[in-house]
């Protein structure tokens, strides 16, 4: 996550509430920022926004794209990946369906499932 992510009002509010309830606010904030610095989400396609729209602020990046998470004012919060997809969803509703209709063979299916379980997709 980029530093700008942690400056977003909704993120700052959550961090502040968490820190206010701790015995050591400074240590708690440092640990929280470290833990929140990485977000694992699944990406199941190769499309991406290469250039952000005018006025957009980049909040996060990934190995696949520089513009993984971004916002426009307080109206748009965009994710390139699919935070709503967990590995069970991907396995059951995408991988198994592709296998069932012949789009994946046994070896391809096993490889994709391994990558999902290793958080590589």
Q: What's the pLDDT at 55?
A: 93
By the 8 A CB rule, do 56 and 70 touch? yes
Instruction: Determine how many CB atoms are found less than 10 A away from the CB of residue 80.
Output: 20
Alpha helices in 8-58 (DSSP H): 9-20, 25-36
Per-residue pLDDT of the chain (121 residues; tens, 9 = 90+): 677 777 788 778 878 887 888 888 888 878 877 776 665 555 555 667 788 989 999 988 877 788 888 888 888 888 777 666 667 777 777 787 888 888 888 888 888 888 776 655 4
pTM: 0.48
pLDDT at 56: 92
Q: How high is the pLDDT of residue 43?
A: 57
pLDDT on residue 54 = 93
The residue behind tokens 């006025």 is: 55
Give the model's pLDDT for residue 40: 57
pLDDT value of residue 45: 56
Spatial neighbors of 2 by CB under 8 A, at least 6 apart, are 58, 59, 60, 61
Closest CA to 40 of 91, 1, 94: 1
Write the DSSP symbol of residue 28. Answer: H
Predicted local distance difference test score (pLDDT) of residue 80: 77
For residue 89, CA distances in Å to 23, 25, 41, 95 come to: 39, 37, 12, 9
Tokens found for residue 36: 């929140």
């Amino acid at each position: 996550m980029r530093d700008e992510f942690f400056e977003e009002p909704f993120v700052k509010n959550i961090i502040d509430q968490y820190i206010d309830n701790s015995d050591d606010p400074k240590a708690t904030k440092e640990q929280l920022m470290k833990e929140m610095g990485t977000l694992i989400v699944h990406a199941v396609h190769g499309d991406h926004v290469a250039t952000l729209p005018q006025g957009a602020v980049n909040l996060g990046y990934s190995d696949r794209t520089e513009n993984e998470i971004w916002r426009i004012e307080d109206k748009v919060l965009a994710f390139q990946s699919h935070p709503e997809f967990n590995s069970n969803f991907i396995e059951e509703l995408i991988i198994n369906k592709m296998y069932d209709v012949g789009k994946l063979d046994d070896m391809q299916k096993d490889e994709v499932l391994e990558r999902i379980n290793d958080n590589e997709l």
